[in-house]
Amino acid sequence: MAKAQKRFGPPPQKVDLVAVSKTFGAVDILPLLEAGQRQFGENRVQEAQTKWPELKSAFEGVELHLIGPLQTNKVKDAVALFDVIETVDRDKLARALAAEMEKTGSRLPCFVQVNIGGENQKAGIAPGDAVAFVDRCRNEHGLNIVGLMCIPPVDDAPGPYFAQLAELSKLAQVDSLSMGMSADFETAIAVGATHVRVGSALFGSRPPLG
Ligand SMILES: *Cc1c(COP(=O)(O)O)cnc(C)c1O
């Protein structure tokens, strides 16, 4: 990460490592917590509920990021457990999050997820709608939008998509950029990522889905 930051600088931006612990249990997560890692990412609310309440009470300062799709019926649970929501991508969800945060007196930092490759199967707001959506999230829904997040298409070189997200972040006037995973975090940092979401490079490979 430090090497990639030097390529982007000067001055190098601060880059946060979000350790993606999905599919891994407490035994695998504990060594990272003990080594001082505090930012973690999970993609499913229900799975996170099985491990993080206990880990959070055992370790101070944990910042848990929701990095997977959020259904509105899970908003209450998500706001109760997570510290950062990275996947705000539609008005209905923004409205539900804002209402829940109002009710609980929290104001979690949120990222807007952008479907940067315009892929049918992927979540996220269309790139052309992203700036207006960030505005609505802030000014109509009252969310604390701090950045943009994306997952580029798996089969393409990621650099141009990351650079496009960086451009959008300037237009939307947000400071944070969550982009880059195990295979491409150096590229993401080189074009301005402030948060990289790294799973398998830290934890080892995950069992195949399903
Ligand atoms: C699983 C996941 C990651 C981490 O992927 P790796 O390739 O294991 O680093 C990052 N972001 C999201 C949204 C994920 O679901």
At residue 2, the pLDDT reads 83
- The CA 21 to ligand 1 mean position distance, Å, reads 9
- The CA 43 to ligand 1 mean position distance, Å, reads 8
Which residue's alpha carbon is nearest to atom 11 within ligand 1? 197
Contacts of 51 (CB under 8 A, 6+ apart): 21, 25, 26, 29
At residue 6, the pLDDT reads 77
The strand pairing partners of 40, in sequence order, are 19, 64
At residue 79, the pLDDT reads 98
At residue 208, the pLDDT reads 73
Ligand 1 pocket by Cβ (under 6 Å):
20, 22, 43, 67-68, 151, 181-183, 197-201
- The CA 151 to ligand 1 mean position distance, Å, reads 9
pLDDT of the chain, 210 residues: tens digit per residue: 888 777 766 666 799 999 999 999 999 999 999 999 999 999 999 999 999 999 999 999 999 999 999 999 999 999 999 999 999 999 999 999 999 999 999 999 999 999 999 999 999 999 999 999 999 999 999 999 999 999 999 999 999 999 999 999 999 999 999 999 999 999 999 999 999 999 999 999 987 765
Per the structure block, which two tokens stand in for 162? 């990351």
Per the structure block, which two tokens stand in for 205? 């490979």
At residue 52, the pLDDT reads 98
Task: Check if the beta carbon of residue 130 is closer than 8 Å to that of residue 140.
Answer: no
At residue 12, the pLDDT reads 64
Which residue's alpha carbon is nearest to atom 5 within ligand 1? 199
- The CA 131 to ligand 1 mean position distance, Å, reads 25
**Nearest ligand 1 atom to alpha carbon 185:** 9
At residue 9, the pLDDT reads 63
Distance separating the N- and C-terminal Cα atoms of the chain: 32
Radius of gyration of the chain (CA): 16
